[in-house]
Structure 1
Amino acid sequence: MLESPSLLMLPSLPASHPFSPLVASGKWLRVDGDKWNLHGVSYGPFRPREDGASFPAPERLAADFQQIRRLGFNTVRLYDLPTEDVLEGAEAEGLRLLVGIPWTDHVDFMHDGALRQQIEQTITDAARRFRDVPCVAGFLVGNEIEKNLARWMEPGRVRRFLEGLIEIGRREAPAKLFSYATYPSTEYLVPSNVDFLAVNLYLEHPAALESYLQRLQNLAGDKPLVITEFGLDVAAHGEQAQAETRAWFHRLCHRNAVAGTVWFSFTDEWFRGGDDITRWSFGLVTTDRQERAACHLDLSPGPLVDNPPRISVVVCTWNGGATLADCLSSLQKLRYPNFEVLLIDDGSTQDIAAIAHRFPSVLYVRQDHAGLSVARNRGASLATGEIVAYTDDDCIADEDWLTHLATGFDDPQWVAAGGPNIPPRPRNRTEAVVAAAPGAPAHVLLNDIEAEHLPGCNLAIRKRALEAIGGFQAQYVAAGDDVDVCWRLQQAGGKLRFVPGAMVWHHRRYSIQAYFRQQAGYGRAEALLMKDHPERFGALGGARWIGGIYGDRAVAPPLDEGSIYHGPQGEGLFQGIYRQGLRCWLDWTGGVIWVALVLGALVAQCPSTAAVVIALSWLQAAYRQRLLTHPPFSLGTSESLLLLGLCWIQPVVREWKRLVGMVQLGARPAGSHANPPPNPVVRRPSKVSIPLLELCFWNEVGVGRTQWLDAMRRHLAQKNIPIREDQGWRLFDLEAVPHHIISPAFLTVTEYHGERQRLTRIKLLMRIQWRLIFGVTALLGLVGLLAHPHPLLADLATLSILGLSTFIWALRQRFKRMILDAAKLIGLEVKS
């Protein structure tokens, strides 16, 4: 087991609880139901003491924590497990601790099963030890796995391992928060089961930070965003620049709904890699604890909007009495100075008026039942605000919903704005499954800021812009009205803005039957939309979105080759996920297609074919379930199977209603898109990589992968072997004879082992075109069918396989020799 002195020597502490639990709630952190901003500073790591603890002496530590509290911080981020002195000091000063659990993350841990077990045991022991310590708010199960190492180990495997560490920790300490601290060079390493998105970030310009915060909010999805490191080097920029940077950093984080920040660092005293770090000075205080100018700032959050516009909140209801009172109650708690609430009763048979009368400030208006669009237009006509904000009767508004919405209208180009709609914690198991199921209202983004579609449950529109397009169209009686109005606003030249902080809680359906009724209604609405916007739909009836769909899509899609821009040879500073189109050929077996194929096979009396199609449709459903956003609550085995069933049936219900509506309305998709989406940045790879061998090389004078790649380029050039360099999308560095059906490629990584010691790993890959794999598979299948009547075919197939194997073996030996020759030229020593 990996041993930590502080973990082994720390005695048990009494289970007192002076701190209320910190919880993640939508886009925010909360304590006892109230929003709580994590205002933290990093502490350490320090030169180890004689007892092995990586913290200052007890007297110094106590004085440091007093100073940290006096400077206004409420949280301390640690990079080592806390000692008894740390815990006592934190509890004495009322400071919460965000504990990093250190483990061996600078080597290829995915290659070593024993090391992975040690890491898992380290997480287990740390979570178990501190689970009842009240000042420990949460854990970071890792910190900044180096970008090339993550690329080498394959990003998908690394992410799954981190997800496993979080599950291990959560089993031991279920009341604590868990995350992994990533950074821009590996922003794709976001475990789907984190409680909050933790990012270490250093940007020196306000505009760059604000833009990147918007991207990070979209990566965070429905979870809080916490910046777990941000700072400025005084040695390079000066003390005044540090103070100015800290001021605009906090201002922009407040404006962009960041739930917490950690300033790096408290002191210049910093020990890493066996040495005291003296060339950088990131501390708010010097090594001898003299305070810099950045300590003496007024960081109290100012108003998000200087001149708040009047906003009219419109709630439309039709027999929504079960949730309406909670909705109206939340609107009474809005912290916004200039708004009104209008409740439009669309001819309900329930006594909605009785509920409305419990809220005297709400203007209640009843109309004959005419549908959602008519009700929304009625609300807009009565609104006295310049902005009309719509939400549904099954939504609960965050107390700062309107405040953040108002920031979305700081420029006249924005005619509408909206934020995320997040399911609250379910009240029963069925509701939990429905909340995790596909088909929920989702926003569609053209980029990190501009939206193509905003759901009507969280949609604010300038009143004059809504009037200019004639309001909502009456034929949309239950759904589709928000899509139609967003498209028409854009056609009129307006832009839609996504505001991550403007969140509402949105109840999903309470039963399976209600869920399918909702999906059927969406299908019918899609047919209506096709009638009005045929250019927006494809040949099979699906909507042609230009942007990416967020909400019921995965926050963390599969990290296969071609999905991530790593930069040439994996050296990009900002390495992000780029969403593409169809991810799996099984997508073609979803919806009504598989039903039609099964019926056709049964009519043709081919039950085996029908069985194969059904099996493929279940595989497609399982793949779709895997891509769903990870729910903020656990599902048991029976609930997971039910969710799989919903993923299987939901496309059928929705598509069938759409097809029926198309026939009834005479709706047909147009032949071409009026605004076709841009060409994808990168195509999926046409080859698959198979590892042939891996070699390791040691060097103690700083020679690593960069020098080896240069030597290999020269070596291949001398032999007139053409090469292709990775341009940032592939999981190799160099590929030889790239235009051949079978080609060798090389992937490298260098591990840093202190001072100038380097371990360089080099992997030889065989890249084979998919068409060859499919062709060989089909040929072998055909040979298998014909082998009995024609045994000569089996012999020929065996000889072909032997010939191919001999070719691959020869290829391996040839390029192994090249790897060794290039390594010898630059002084790399083979390590067994």
Structure 2
Amino acid sequence: VIAFSPTAIVWHHRRFTLGAFRKQQAGYGEAESMLRFKHLIFFGPTGTAKWRGQIYGSPRFSWFINRPIIYHGIFGEGFFQSIYPSPQSEIANYLSSIEWFVLTLFLFGLGIFLPILRIVPYLMLGGTLCVALSYMLRARIEPKFDTIPARLLVMFLAFAQPLVRGWNRYFTWLEFKRTPRGVIGTHEKMPSGKAGRGNLRRRNYWSEDGVERNALLKSTFQLLEEEGWSYSADTGWKEWDIQIYGNFFWSVILQTVTEYHGGPKCLTRVRLRYRFVTTTVIINLLFLAMIIYRDLNSGNVDLRVLIPYGIFLLFLWTRARRLKRRVAEIVDVAAYRLGLQRIGKRGAEDVIR
């Protein structure tokens, strides 16, 4: 709330048990993920909110170098002399994130087979522990409760909090970042029976009445809502108009442009592109790591790894093709509702001439 409305007042209730604290952080991660669909511009690539505020006295690795700055005014005569703390450390955020922790575990696994990498995950884990240690040293605890177990508890909470929050953020995002199978499996019906056929990458629609891309996008949004698709719209900073979430492996990017050819005549071009989902990248990296390891150790190509990987790639291709064809059907139906005439590549070239 603070990130979206700086004037908001938020009342925080203390959590007195570890279980209650875990549920609180899990709820924060889930809320971040759900907000991300509507406010993509306020979130980074990992799903964390982007803002310049400070909360909970976040760790600053430069606290032992840079002290807070106090504005005294000229010759010390300034009114309401304010203190400006040193900025929050971005490095600390990265070192304590769940992405960093997962990468540490991945390198630890590789280190079992590649001795040259064995020291790297320990150094990475040391950086994560330094962040938690910074919290422990900087925390303000009432003197009667300021004991060694209390400090260690603060360190543990600082270590676990971003992991719990990130875990729930990712899994909520993956849960809502896909469209139900039943929706994808239900095909559109058009009188011509040609919805979704032809070139799936580029679609061209001709209008004699001045119906252009904004009307087509509005009709597409309406269809997506009617059928229950998961999607995000352009925020003004994206290179696409609509991002449609299909399954755990793929999403489809939709881009549109309208060309005007005198009077009300116009040609709207639609381009559909695939986009990887995080799970696709992770699984492919695991397969490639296994293939490289086998090749380095045996010097031969291991078919026991290559064949399953080839089957998986074929599975990915079929899922991607199916999703893209389904999105093309939606665009065709949206255009049909507006009275747009779909034309092929040659027809579009003839129009330009």
**TM score, norm. by length of structure 1:** 0.19
TM-score between the two structures when normalised by the length of structure 2:
0.42
**More relative contact order, 1 or 2 (CA 8 Å, 6+ apart):** 2
Higher-strand-fraction structure: 1
Please identify the structure whose Cα radius of gyration is greater. Answer: 1
